[in-house]
Structure 1
Amino acid sequence: MGRSFEFVRPEVTIAMTALQQPQHPVLEAVVAITTCLEQVADANPTFMATDQKAAALLEIARAKAQLAELELRVLAAADDVAAETAARDVAAWLHHHTHQRPEDLRADQRLAAALDRTYHQVSAAMRAGECNPAQATVIVAALDDLPTDLDPEVKTRAEEALVGYATELDPTQLRRLGRRILDVIAPEIAEAEEARRLAAEEAHARKKTRLTMRRLGDGTTRITAVVPDATADRLATNLEAFASPRRDDGTRTTTGDYLPYDRRLGRAFCQLLETLDPTRLPIHGGDATTVIVTIDLDQLRTDTGIGQIVGGSPITAAEARRLACTANIIPAVLGGPSEVLDFGRKERFFQAAQRRALLLRSATCEAEGCDIPGTWAEAHHWLAWAQGGPTDIDNAALLCSHHHHRAHDTAYVHERLPNGDIRFIRRT
Structure 2
Amino acid sequence: MNSLGDLDEALVAVHAVWEAAETARDVPRERLVAVNEALGSMRRRVDAVLADVAARIAVESRKELGPGGLAKQHGFRTPAMLIASATGASTGEANKFVAVGTATAPRMSLFGAQLPAKYPAVRDAVSSGGLSVPASSAIISLLDRMRLKTSAERIAEAEKVLAVQASGLMMDEVRKLLTRAEAWLDPDGVEPREERARENRSLQMFERDGMLHLTLQTDVASGAPVKAAIEGYVSAQFAARKNAAGVTDAEGAAEGDTRTVTQMRADALTLFAEHVLGCRNDTLPLAGATVIVRVNLEDLQNGTGTARIDGVTAPVSITTARRLAADGGVIPWVCGPGGDILDWGRRRRLFTPAQKLALTERDAGCAMCGLPPGMTQVHHIQWWERDTGPTDLGNGILLCMTCHHLIHDNGWDIRIDGTGVTAQVWFLPPTAADPERTPRPAVNRRLTPAA
- Per the normalisation by structure 1, the TM-score is 0.62
State which of 387, 408, 426 in structure 2 corresponds to 1:420: 426
Structure 1 residues 92, 386: CA separation in 2 closer, same or farther (over 3 Å shift)?
farther
Report the 3-state secondary structure (helix = DSSP H, G, I; strand = E; otherwise coil) of the residue aligned with 1:276.
helix
* CA distance in structure 2 between the aligned counterparts of 1:131 and 1:241, rounded to whole angstroms: 35
User: Alpha carbons of 1:360 and 1:321: their partners in 2 closer, same or farther (altered >3 Å)?
Assistant: farther
Q: Which runs of 5+ in 2 are unaligned?
A: 21-34, 108-116, 246-253, 281-287, 416-423, 435-451
CA shift in 2, pair 1:110/1:380, >3 Å: farther
Per-residue CA deviations over 1:161-217 (Å, capped at 9, x if unaligned) read 3334566445554444444559xxxxxx95x96993487357426624424242543
SS of 2:244's partner is coil
Once residues 305 and 212 of structure 1 are traced to their aligned partners in structure 2, the CA distance between those partners, rounded to angstroms, is 37
Aligned 8 A contact 1:359 1:375 in 2 = no
Residue pairs, 1:183-222, within 5 angstroms? 190=184, 196-197=189-190, 200=193, 203-204=196-197, 207-214=200-207, 216-217=209-210, 221-222=212-213
Q: Which residue of 1 aligns with 2:272?
A: 272
1:69-218 mapped onto 2 (5 Å cutoff): 69-73=52-56, 75-76=58-59, 79-81=62-64, 83=66, 92-94=77-79, 102-104=91-93, 106-108=95-97, 110-111=99-100, 114-115=103-104, 118-123=118-123, 126=126, 131-144=131-144, 146=146, 148-164=148-164, 168-169=168-169, 171-180=171-180, 190=184, 196-197=189-190, 200=193, 203-204=196-197, 207-214=200-207, 216-217=209-210
| 2:96–2:134 Cα contact (<8 Å) kept | no
| Partner SS, residue 159 of structure 1 | helix
Q: Look up the match of 1:239.
A: 233
Q: Which residue pairs with 2:389 in the alignment? A: 390
Paired residues in the alignment total 365
How much has 1:404 moved relative to structure 2?
A: 1.4
* Distance change in 2, residues 1:78/1:399 (3 Å): same
User: Are residues 1:260 and 2:254 paired?
Assistant: no
- In 1, Cα distance between equivalents of 2:49 and 2:151: 31
The alignment's C-alpha RMSD in Å is 5.2
The TM-score, its normalising length taken from structure 2, stands at 0.60
What does the per-residue CA deviation read over 1:356-383, in whole Å, with 9 as the maximum and x for residues that have no partner?
343233223233xx33123322233444
| Distance apart, 1:403 and its partner CA | 1.8
Q: CA deviation at 1:302?
A: 4.9
Pair 1:62 & 2:57 matched: no
Distance in 2 between the 1:376 and 1:413 partners?
23
2:256 aligns to what SS in structure 1?
coil
Question: Deviation per CA, 1:319-363, whole angstroms, max 9, x where unpaired?
Answer: 34434444322445556763454632433x444444334323322
Change over 3 Å in CA distance of 1:301–1:363 after alignment to 2: farther
1:140, distance to aligned residue in structure 2 (A) = 0.9
Distance 1:389 1:140 in 2: 47
Kept in 2, the 8 Å contact 1:95–1:105? The answer is: yes
**Residues of 1 paired with 2:96 and 2:41: CA distance?**
26
- Deviation, 1:230, is 0.8
2-structure distance, mates of 1:383, 1:372: 22
Q: Which amino acid aligns with 1:243?
A: Q
Task: Please tell me whether the aligned partners of residues 366 and 422 of structure 1 are also in contact (alpha carbons under 8 angstroms).
Answer: no
8 Å Cα contact 2:225/2:290 also seen in 1: no
1:360 matched to which residue of 2? 361
Sequence identity of aligned pairs in percent?
Answer: 21
**Bigger Rg, structure 1 or 2:** 1
8 Å contact from structure 1 (residues 143, 178) kept in 2: no
Distance across 2 between alignment mates of 1:426 and 1:94: 54
